[in-house]
Amino acid sequence: MPQRIGFIGLGIMGKPMARNLLKAGYSLTVYSRKQEAVDTLVAEGARGACSSREVSEQSEVIITMVTDTPDVQQVVLGPDGVLSGLRAGGTIIDMSTISPTATREVANAAHAKGVHFLDAPVSGGEGGAVAGALSIMVGGDADTFNACLPIFQAMGKNIIHVGPNGSGQLVKLCNQIAVAVTNMAMSEALIFAAKAGVNLEKMHQAISGGAAGSWQLTNLAPRVFQRDFAPGFMVKLQQKDLRLVLQEADRLQLALPATGLVHNLFNALETMGARDEGTQALVKVLERLAGVEVKV
């Protein structure tokens, strides 16, 4: 077990992930723009730091879990970033969801300084992060992956090495395509049932166990019924991921019509003031179009 892990980024996902590393017995140093989150984990046994560099100076393995591509670039490559303090032979694990192209660039910069790099985005939302049951898709050197596997096992259950650097991000974008389009399918099914006057709870029970079953139908539909739009995963973060998908699709000259439609619907949702709500709020756009509300 590596003795010292640094964790940068303590948001909805990062905070419970870091907590699970503490529970697994790792020595942890943490840094976040949210001082309250740092203070909470310090009270639970972590050490606090005032910068990414300070974290890296005290750690052998650094995990980053931040919002977007520029954040990772700043945290890792910036003048007070991880690479300014991490010794050769150390490892950076970026668990954010960012551009595959930028990931390869950051990995190359790390390798040039003798630092190992893994891109390891996750799926499973806040619930998966809290339960330590995330799916983790990892790109990078196989030996580095194997060395870090116990760290991943403290945070996730379905942990797959998917290829070289950048592959983890590409697989995560595949995940986001499937998640977003399935969310739209679920929302349309709920709207159809509500407009037709079908008993929503019985409909949900009837189709969840068959071929229509999905994580979204099981976990998000009941929240819609109760008008609970608190985020497990925010609309604005889903949109960030869909922009990454569509940018990569454009580079590949690839048509993704359903993904493009969902992205546009989320644009409409953001104009309705729901960018900080959970992705189940997508149903609100369809409700406005249909003149019906999904609730029990």
Distance CA 173, CA 123 (A): 10
pLDDT value of residue 125: 87
Domain spans of the chain, in order of start = 4-164, 171-290
| C-beta of residue 143 within 8 angstroms of C-beta of residue 118 | no
Is 172 annotated in the active site?
Answer: yes
Average pLDDT by stretches of 10, the chain with 296 residues: 87 96 97 95 97 96 97 96 96 97 98 98 93 98 97 98 98 97 98 98 96 96 97 94 97 97 98 97 98 97
Nearest Cα residue to 160 out of 111, 210, 123: 123
Say how many C-beta atoms besides its own lie within 10 A of residue 117's C-beta. Answer: 25
pLDDT value of residue 85: 95
Nearby residues of 146 by Cβ (< 8 Å), 6 or more positions away: none
Q: Are strands 4-8 and 27-31 parallel, antiparallel or unpaired?
A: parallel
Enter the pTM of the model. Answer: 0.93
Report the CATH number of the 171-290 domain: 1.10.1040.10
Options 23, 34, 113, 172, the catalytic residue: 172
Same fold, 4-164 and 171-290: no
pLDDT value of residue 1: 58
Please identify, in words, the CATH class of the domain defined by 4-164. alpha beta
Token pair listed for 22: 């503490």
